[in-house]
A = this chain, B = another copy of it.
Amino acid sequence: MDDEAWLKDYRREAEHYARPSVTVDLTIFSVWDTDLKVLLIQRKEPPFRGDWALPGGFVRVGDGFDDQGEDLAAAAHRELAEETGLPEHSTYLEQLGAFGQPGRDPRMRIISIAYFALVRATLAPRVVAGSDASDAQWFSVSECPALAFDHGQILARAVDHIRDSIHRTNLAFELVRETFTIAELRAVYEAVMGVPYDPGNFRRSFLRMEQDGILERCPGKRSTGTRPAAIYRFAQTR
């Protein structure tokens, strides 16, 4: 078969089809002060000027042919680094899904690939300072304003997903420090789920993880204002 011929044909034809713009939108979570927080930015341009929205941006596509541009995950990592000021790949990132309802952006057809990111509380304070403009701000998800576009739906799906995954995966470890006490980990669960956990029972279920080699004990204790607590570390090869 003639490589050049079909390829040129195909491209000429494909160029006649309308194509959508594609963006990534980020739901960036962190946990502190017993609350699940999400990072929002205030829009400076219409539409929805002045409203809060999820950070995001266009996926770089190159010319689409010889240069096919960047991967979706790479776009998400890039935007995440831009918006937070944190180094790329220092945070957990996972795809949530595609949102492409016609009319979700009044300007034009835009299909958005939603990602969610988890930022350790130790890094979170740096985020707003590092952001180029001061239009970024953390909100408790429980007291978060109505969002622009369909970002409210995306956020809701992200929260659902996180609540669903936290019991089945090791995602909670992305929201505590490298080393942590059982109580700190429990605080993350309580913030995410919005309910209190029995300290004794929670402890036991995570000691099972130590037996399974997922968690490992670190030497020393952490001072807590009361009886010092044992320190643990997530042992998984990331």
Closest to A45 in B: B6
Counting CB contacts under 8 A, is A238 at the interface? no
Scan A81-101; emit 1 where CB is below 8 A from any B CB, else 0.
000000000000001011011
Interface residues of A in 1-47 (CB under 8 A from B): 1, 3, 6-7, 10-11, 14, 17-22, 45-46
Known contacts A65-B108, A71-B101, A98-B113; decide if A21 and B17 are in contact (CB<8 Å): yes
Q: Chain B contacts of A71 at CB under 8 A?
A: 100-102
Q: How far apart sit A58 and B97, CA to CA, in the bound complex (Å)?
A: 18
Chain B nearest CB: distance from A103 CB in Å? 6
Copies of this chain, complex-wide, total 2
Counting CB contacts under 8 A, is A111 at the interface? yes
Q: Decide: B1 and A102 in contact? CB cutoff 8 A.
A: no
Interface size of A by CB at 8 A reads: 40
Closest to A20 in B: B61
Q: Decide: B68 and A103 in contact? CB cutoff 8 A.
A: yes
Interface residues of A in 33-86 (CB under 8 A from B): 45-46, 49, 58-59, 61-65, 68-72
Interface residues of A in 92-133 (CB under 8 A from B): 95, 97-98, 100-103, 107-109, 111, 113
Q: Decide: B64 and A18 in contact? CB cutoff 8 A.
A: yes
Q: Chain B contacts of A102 at CB under 8 A?
A: 62, 68-71
Which residue, A14, A101, A111, has most C-beta atoms of chain B within 10 A?
Answer: A111
Q: How far apart sit A6 and B10, CA to CA, in the bound complex (Å)?
A: 35
The residues of A with any CB-CB pair to B shorter than 8 Å are: 1, 3, 6-7, 10-11, 14, 17-22, 45-46, 49, 58-59, 61-65, 68-72, 95, 97-98, 100-103, 107-109, 111, 113
